[in-house]
């Protein structure tokens, strides 16, 4: 019986981000789907996306999706909120495309009790306003407060997850939101889960932090259950490939550490061009 006849699809799932942030999403999908293969693209040569114009981010996003299609992926996960603001399609070249904003917005709506939600993101994500629109379309009584936190991305890339400087910067960005008494905070940039403890320290334990990685993993699970995505066949060896547009030993060390916590498959690294 062929894979196709058996309802199986051994092609990898493609995931991309500008840098290390999307590894927080990759981690969640690897944890949720341990029998799947993955190709991760980190556009390290062009990071950050969050300070760039919508047009430039759209250009990069299309190039990244084209690269993943060339790697014969069966689905594309846009593991970057900034890029997700410039993805207008549910499908690209016949593959389903998953953005991280819609599932994150749905989780936030389900979580809030006092109807006050904060969205943290890059400047580009906050400017695009997708979260506020999506949350309001689901429940217009929810008040959405947005805050750009541009210094969080370099702190996460640096690996300063537990550092007094990170705590100080988190406090500076977030104190007004805390004073506004939000009960749900969307980590609307995939780098931010790396700084979760510093962010949680500002808000306190009673506030729910919404992680886009967990949110998008649930979305994929629903599509596997519905048969829209076909599972990998167990006869194929698992692949966990990380492609970077600029080589970075620091990236390799950080991401290997993160992935080790969810998978025994050793990630392989290569440098690629997507242009
Ligand atoms: N990780 C990206 C996001 O989720 C942003 C990082 C960047 O600015 O490149 O928005």
Cis peptide before 64 (omega within 30 of 0): no
Residue 120 has pLDDT above 80, yes or no: yes
Mean pLDDT of the chain: 95
Catalytic hit among 25, 120, 189, 199? 189
Which of 44, 123, 54, 103 is CA-nearest to residue 83? 54
Lowest mean per-residue pLDDT among 27-36, 43-52, 126-135, 228-237:
228-237
Interval 150-200: pLDDT, tens? 999 999 999 999 899 999 999 999 999 999 999 999 999 999 999 999 999
Share of the chain above pLDDT 90, in %: 93
Cα–Cα dist 191/18, whole Å: 10
Contact 147, 119 (CB under 8 A): yes
Residue 21 · residue 189 · CB < 8 Å: yes
Contact 78, 84 (CB under 8 A): yes
Which position among 80, 117, 174, 198 bears the catalytic label? Answer: 80
DSSP state of 112: -
What is the pLDDT, as a whole number, of residue 2?
78
Q: Give this prediction's pTM.
A: 0.94
Residue 149: active-site member: no
Q: Which residue has the tokens 């695009």?
A: 128
Predicted pLDDT of residue 228: 95
Query: Active site includes 80?
Result: yes
Are 243 and 42 spatial neighbours (Cβ–Cβ below 8 Å)?
Answer: yes
Compute the distance from residue 142 Cα to the ligand 1 centre, in Å.
Answer: 25
Distance, CA 274 to ligand 1 centroid (Å)?
18
Residue nearest to atom 2 of ligand 1 (CA): 80
Reported as a single tens digit per residue, the pLDDT across 35-71 is 999 999 999 999 999 999 999 999 999 999 999 999 9
Ligand 1 pocket member 64 (CB < 6 A):
no
Three-state DSSP class for residue 134: helix
| pLDDT at 112 (0 to 100) | 98
Ligand 1 atom at minimum distance from 17 CA: 1
Ligand 1: distance of its center to the CA of 19 in Å?
7
- Residue 121 pairs in a beta bridge with 148
What is the reported pLDDT for 212?
A: 85
């Amino acid at each position: 019986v062929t894979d196709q006849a058996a309802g199986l699809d051994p092609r990898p799932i493609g995931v991309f981000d500008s840098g290390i942030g999307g590894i927080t999403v990759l981690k969640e999908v690897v944890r949720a789907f341990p029998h799947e293969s993955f190709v991760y693209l980190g556009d390290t040569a062009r990071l950050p996306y969050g300070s760039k114009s919508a047009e430039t981010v759209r250009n990069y996003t299309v190039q990244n999706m084209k690269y993943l299609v060339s790697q014969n992926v069966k689905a594309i996960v846009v593991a970057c909120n900034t890029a997700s603001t410039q993805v207008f399609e549910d499908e690209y070249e016949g593959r389903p495309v998953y953005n991280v904003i819609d599932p994150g917005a749905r989780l936030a709506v389900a979580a809030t009790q006092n109807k006050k939600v904060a969205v943290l993101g890059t400047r580009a994500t906050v400017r695009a306003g997708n979260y506020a629109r999506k949350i309001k379309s689901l429940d217009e009584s929810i008040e959405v407060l947005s805050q750009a936190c541009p210094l969080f991305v370099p702190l996460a890339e640096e690996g300063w997850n537990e550092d007094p400087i990170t705590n100080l910067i988190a406090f500076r960005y977030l104190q007004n939101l805390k004073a506004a008494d939000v009960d749900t905070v969307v980590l609307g940039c995939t780098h931010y889960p790396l700084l979760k403890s510093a962010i949680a320290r500002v808000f306190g334990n009673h506030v729910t932090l919404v992680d886009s990685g967990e949110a998008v993993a649930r979305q994929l699970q629903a599509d596997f259950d519905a048969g829209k995505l076909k599972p990998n066949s167990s006869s194929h060896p698992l692949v966990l490939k990380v492609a970077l547009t600029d080589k970075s030993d620091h990236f390799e060390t950080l991401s290997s550490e993160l992935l080790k916590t969810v998978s025994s498959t050793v990630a392989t690294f290569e440098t690629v061009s997507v242009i």
